[in-house]
Chains A and B, each alone.
Chain A
């Protein structure tokens, strides 16, 4: 089981409590598709992904980004059992969506950078460490049911 200090718990809950999902969700997903273009392979039916501008303004990508970001809410509420919380989602990502689990890490990195850009110097090294620890637990849980 993952051990969380009180400080880490409060950092995670506070980041998500003040998160603007409609802003950050689309930014994180579109950044992932721009910085790591091979991830576009999973978005064949999402319309125009021709260049950075098209991706950034694509409404389907935007909506999906918000959905994915909200997907993290359950992990925030169940920090002591993220592994089981995401067991079903992991199966789905493996068997239905066929997503290479290494890509979860890429999206997590992009989310970290979008939040860093938003928070500026308030995104301290300690906050970054806690946030990345949280995301790496999520990423592991999502990849766990692959076989």
Chain B
């Protein structure tokens, strides 16, 4: 699915994004909550107003997990095993929402990287986020 060149591109890009994990993560989350209001149903326990501490820390958590997976994409199932269990048995987020979040992450990256978010980078990122979401939902049924 992901070619070696793409895995390298993804790995290097996410390494660059770790220092701004909170910014990118909270931006992507906010975009999702505002653009797709149905996703707010999963956050009744958090303060999801723009720039809230909850939004920032939750966004950071998600980005760091994505960055961790990017370090060795061929080991995604191993790296994400604990998160698979969390999502399948506790969070039980309807999997179609992963697509909505992935899209908003792509938009957040486009805003952040501007012209550097080239079509090739976009394609590789879309593939990686799809693979990530698929692994995350693997233990659902």
Flag if A132 contacts B35 (CB, 8 Å). yes
**In the complex, A101 Cα to B119 Cα: how many Å?**
22
Flag if A31 contacts B119 (CB, 8 Å). yes
Binding site for A on B (CB under 8 A): 27, 30-31, 33-35, 50, 103-104, 106-107, 110-115, 117, 119-120, 122-123, 126
Given contacts A31-B122, A34-B119, A34-B123, contact A125 B110 (CB under 8 A): no
- A interface bracket (residues with beta carbon within 8 Å of B): 20 to 34
Q: Is residue A90 within 8 Å, beta carbon to beta carbon, of the partner chain?
A: no
Given contacts A125-B31, A125-B35, A129-B34, contact A113 B110 (CB under 8 A): yes
**In the complex, A143 Cα to B92 Cα: how many Å?**
32
**In the complex, A117 Cα to B126 Cα: how many Å?**
16
Flag if B34 contacts A113 (CB, 8 Å). no
Considering the complex, give the chain B residue whose CB is closest to the CB of A109: B103
Contact of B34 among A114, A119, A128 (CB under 8 A): A128
Q: Is residue A7 within 8 Å, beta carbon to beta carbon, of the partner chain?
A: no
Contact of A52 among B35, B114, B119 (CB under 8 A): B119
List 19 A-B pairs, Cβ < 8 Å. A35-B119, A35-B123, A35-B126, A113-B106, A113-B110, A113-B117, A114-B110, A116-B107, A116-B111, A117-B113, A117-B117, A120-B114, A123-B111, A125-B27, A125-B31, A125-B33, A128-B34, A128-B107, A129-B34
Considering the complex, give the chain A residue whose CB is closest to the CB of B50: A125
Which 3 interchain pairs have the tightest Cβ spacing?
Answer: A116-B110, A34-B119, A125-B34
Flag if A117 contacts B120 (CB, 8 Å). no
Residues of B within 8 A of A144 (CB): none
Contact of A35 among B35, B115, B122 (CB under 8 A): B122
Flag if B35 contacts A56 (CB, 8 Å). no
Least Cβ distance of A61 to chain B in Å?
A: 12
Contact of B120 among A52, A121, A129 (CB under 8 A): A52
Least Cβ distance of B9 to chain A in Å?
A: 13
**In the complex, A121 Cα to B106 Cα: how many Å?**
14
Q: Is residue A112 within 8 Å, beta carbon to beta carbon, of the partner chain?
A: yes
- Given A113-B117, A125-B33, A129-B35, 14 additional A-B pairs, CB 8 A: A31-B119, A35-B119, A113-B106, A113-B107, A114-B110, A116-B107, A117-B115, A117-B117, A120-B111, A121-B111, A123-B107, A128-B104, A128-B107, A132-B35
User: What 1/0 mask marks residues of chain A from 65 to 100 whose CB sits below 8 Å from any chain B CB?
Assistant: 000000000000000000000000000000000000
